[in-house]
A and B are shown apart, each in its own frame.
Chain A
């Protein structure tokens, strides 16, 4: 029942677009019952208000900073960061599941904070430091959170895993290391359907004990 869970503790879970000052809670309160339609309407003016010139509806060239590399691509202004990552750049680690800032499967790290990439427009991600799960490991060397996910059997089907790893990485990298309550709070914006939370909690807590990154 993560959406009833306060996300405003000392350690935050993935946020909807932090720069705009949206927490997930205010986002959900704002859109109420008809979240899909109202959410879309609610977001568009934000995006437009930020732009000095009208963009789109045709694809526009943008530059994203992904895992330390500058990437040029063309997207329609309505394209979300998750769709740009997955459909155009083949960064398919982050998953599209709920597509409305609830489940956390699309979590990437933007300027050091976990963010739901399904609710951040790709054009708005320009000039920000984007880290995806593809950027935190190589075939031979994994981030301590990833190592602990394997050691603690923190995954079953694995579809939620990349999002949980990224949310877990942010909290595990904190200093001083988080308490178990901090870990639970930081992961509360990520939903797993197979039921891997027992291993996930242990994995993130252990990784933090071992000094995170």
Chain B
């Protein structure tokens, strides 16, 4: 049923779906955007963590006597206590602060910790060895669909293979951390967070556990985060360092800054679980997939993790016989945190790579094989369309060859593809839109912009609704005192915030129309706001400029409220999308080096609000995909239990010259009726599988595990 809140029809959109410069672009390009790390408050102290150097142990003593004599020392708080058990290197034991960063480092270095050493385990790929070390726990055993044995027997062609990908870490460029300024009953927190509205309760709860502090009310906490330097799923909580930082601020009566060091950031503040597994997959001669079985294992640290949704995308329970077992390997490494599309990138590798191998065995073009089985997905039409479109973009018809049939010379070229899906349902959100007598408009909600374009999308929604331009609207987000909106996780932000903003703006405009109608001598229902004017549809000569219309308010400011969900608020959003990505790579079989020629992506997200920022999300996801497909991996040493590369020299990330050409096509005007759906996660899923498949196509053998580093490529070639 149509409502006044519905998105404008395609022909009535002047801003929605178009290209716009990022609203926060100039502040960022000028270096003027103030991040939490950039806050220098008067009298501010600097704090550092003291962390465990052992992977597993019990604290015997914490000696701060020397540290307390270090020049500039101002105080410390324990995060753990004598007798407590640490479970990974980098576990936060205490926080210590001083007048300068240098003195804080000196003080931290002077703290003496003693541990009773306990046995540790940090390796995840060799599940047999992990089992012998008593580190393996069954986590999932699912059987679905037709009888597996019968389906397997009916297959004409089968593949049984080993696939996997290592642990990666978020490596946010702005590390986790915050500045806390605790004055009287007010606690101001400049936190690098994806969850502005959630942090007050989280911090108050953490502080209230400390008897020496007593009860702290969530409402006394104000979180201020206009900009934040990357989260990718790792920054939802205040964490131990946030609570310790607040305690130090209370203790010293001064603002305190505590941002993690790079090694801490990589060891304890990030981490996407590995996944390794044996996969069996079978199809009929004509390419119809009939059976998929996986036994997978992974580690998310000592406490485990979820399991990958297998089989992935191709998972019709009526037609495909499926078995998925998963084991958790408990390791003494920093605990896993959510990473863009948790568990999906791993599932894509464990499904799309075996499928690609099966296509090669069937002597089928993978594009035909993936399309033929599209009926096993939840969105056959979407995927068929996207596969064709993406194939056109990458030049599949002209460039594809049979696996390994790459011609002479040491550099082999190949193509590969992968499919993905994600929900992206909207989170809850409330918004207040203000229209001032001077014509000013502000959108107010406690959301946050992680760099995805929240400032820009909300500007577009409000300006489109009021017939204004983007600069006419001020967006106030990044403050927990504003109307509450959800955390930015799972691609839920754009759907939630755009809906609450649209409804609030429509409500505010309606009130303005009521005021203006009398002076124009028309009914409020007859008024429209467009092109910077408010005028009567029936007689456009009855018109006021936006400024003149607002002047009619006298001294009154209009506030419009909007929320998500809202049963009577129209259908503004949805969940569930599909996307396809293809890779064109070259592999030097003498050196094992893989390079990207081109990556192409086709992505459906319902109604696109800001085309350019949506494309940027996809480009960024693919570039991150190049990183984990080819370069980055957290490497752990069993002898010491330490991460060997908690830095940016040896934790490898690509540069501007390492990513090849990229092309993105956002599906527009096809599924707009579904409303807005999140885009952060979906494009982050497929790159690894698509690149791995392209490498297999180029060199004729599967490199079983990612990242596809030269040593792994050469080993696969040697064992072929």
Contacts and interface: CB of A to CB of B under 8 A. Distances in A.
Contact of B659 (A96, A137, A190, A197): A197
Contacts of A100: 262, 647-649
B649 A28 contact: yes
B173 to A, nearest CB: 4
B40 A142 contact: no
Contacts of A5: 655, 657-658
Most buried by B among A35, A103, A146, A157: A157
Contacts, number: 198
Nearest to A200: B656
Interface in B628-656: 630-631, 647-649, 652-656
Given A97-B262, A187-B655, A35 B647 contact: yes
Interface in A13-53: 28, 35-36
A76 B102 contact: yes
Contacts of A151: 21
B712 interface: no
B22 A155 contact: yes
A2 B38 contact: no
B613 interface: yes
A80 B564 CA distance: 48
A93 B648 CA distance: 20
Contacts of A94: 31
A158 B33 contact: yes
B29 A193 contact: no
Given A1-B658, A5-B655, A92 B173 contact: no
Most buried by A among B21, B37, B647, B649: B649
A187 B654 CA distance: 11
B19 to A, nearest CB: 9
A79 B100 CA distance: 11
A92 B38 contact: yes
Contact of B612 (A90, A153, A165): A153
A187 B29 contact: no
Contacts of B655: 1-2, 5, 184, 187-191, 197
Contacts of B261: 99
Interface string A171-212: 000000000010111011111111111111100000000000
A170 interface: no
Interface string A134-148: 100101001000110
Contacts of A3: 649, 652
A156 B620 contact: yes
A157 B29 CA distance: 11
Contacts of A129: none
A141 to B, nearest CB: 10
Given A100-B649, A142-B29, A190-B655, A159 B621 contact: no
B29 A146 contact: yes
A198 B619 CA distance: 7
Given A78-B102, A98-B648, A146-B29, A156 B623 contact: no
Contact of A165 (B29, B102, B228): B29
B172 interface: yes
A66 interface: no
B328 to A, nearest CB: 28
A160 interface: yes
Contacts of A92: 31, 34-35, 37-38, 40
Contacts of A192: 173, 623, 656
Interface string B18-40: 00011011111111111101101
A146 B30 contact: yes
Nearest to B655: A2
Nearest to A157: B451
A198 B617 CA distance: 11
Nearest to B25: A150
A195 B653 CA distance: 10
Q: Is the interface of B mostly helix, strand, loop or mixed?
A: loop
Nearest to B450: A157
A153 B613 contact: yes
Contacts of A150: 21-22, 25-26, 29
A186 B232 CA distance: 27
B29 A155 contact: yes
A157 B230 contact: yes
Nearest to A91: B31
A105 interface: yes
Nearest to A186: B656
Contact of B37 (A95, A158, A190, A191): A95
Given A76-B102, A96-B37, A195 B622 contact: yes
B296 interface: no
A157 B662 CA distance: 20
A90 B172 CA distance: 22
Given A83-B101, A95-B174, A155-B451, A142 B26 contact: yes
A133 B656 contact: no
B227 interface: yes
Given A137-B30, A159-B230, A165-B31, A90 B649 contact: no
Most buried by B among A28, A78, A149: A149
Nearest to A96: B37
Interface string B159-196: 00000000000011111000000000000000000000
Most buried by B among A1, A94, A147, A184: A1
B146 interface: no
Interface of A: 1-5, 28, 35-36, 76, 78-79, 83, 86-87, 90, 92-100, 102-103, 105, 132-134, 137, 139, 142, 146-147, 149-151, 153-162, 165, 181, 183-185, 187-201
Given A134-B32, A198-B662, 13 more contacts: A87-B46, A87-B100, A149-B29, A150-B25, A158-B28, A165-B31, A184-B657, A185-B657, A189-B655, A192-B623, A194-B624, A197-B656, A201-B656
11 contacts: A78-B102, A97-B173, A98-B262, A150-B26, A154-B29, A158-B227, A159-B174, A160-B173, A191-B648, A199-B616, A199-B619
Interface of B: 21-22, 24-35, 37-38, 40, 46, 100-102, 171-175, 227-230, 232, 261-262, 450-452, 612-613, 615-616, 619-624, 630-631, 647-649, 652-659, 662
> Which 9 pairs show the lowest CB-CB distances between chains A and B?
A93-B31, A195-B623, A157-B451, A159-B229, A195-B620, A158-B28, A156-B451, A184-B657, A2-B655
